[in-house]
Amino acid sequence: MAILYIAVYKPRQTLGTYHWTLYLEEGDSHLVFQVVRNPGQFQYQELSSRPENTDRHVENIFVADINDIEGYRAVVNSQAVDNETYHWGCQQWVFDVLESLLDDSIITDYDHGEAKHKLEMIFQVEIEGDE
């Protein structure tokens, strides 16, 4: 079993947005899944690293315990990267992955809702699709 978190990092620029990644911790294995670069040029990237190893790291937000690690990896690796929408970025990619993990029953509806609620509370954003 592994533990899934959303890792949050300080913006690179003073007025930039926080960078979000997915962080999977399984024993001694530490994997970060993210989209990097700028609007229109985003690329998916997977790193073997602890988020805490960078000065920009703010916190890890617990999402869920993951039993189906192969299923998780398949969902994340197949998640679309949107280079057509200018205001799309790492935060939306994380939300898209969480939706896909829910759709494929990798995470529960409860875990999905709790993660979204925590992000809304911290960043005071309304998550798309919430009414």
Per DSSP, the residues of 58-116 read: EEEEEEEEES-HHHHHHHHHH-----S-TT--HHHHHHHHHHHHHHTTSS-HHHHHHHH
Is the pLDDT confidence value at 35 over 90?
yes
pLDDT single digits (tens) 50-76: 999 999 999 999 999 999 999 999 999
Is the pLDDT at 87 greater than 90, yes or no?
no
Residue 129 maps to a domain:
no
Range of the domain at 52: 2-123
Within 10 angstroms of residue 118's Cβ, the number of other Cβ atoms is 14
How many of the other CB atoms lie within 10 Å of CB of 112?
19
State residue 131's pLDDT score. Answer: 44
- Predicted TM-score (pTM) of the model is 0.89
> What is the rounded average pLDDT for all residues in the chain?
90
In a domain, 8, yes or no: yes
Residue 128 lies in a domain: no
Confidence at residue 124, expressed as pLDDT on a 0 to 100 scale: 66
Query: Per-residue pLDDT for 130 more than 50?
Result: no
Domain membership of residue 131 (yes or no) is no
In a domain, 94, yes or no: yes
Domain contains 130: no
Number of structural domains found in the chain: 1
Per the domain annotation, does 85 fall within a domain?
A: yes
Q: Extract the tokens encoding 51.
A: 């988020």
Q: 3-class DSSP state for residue 12?
A: coil
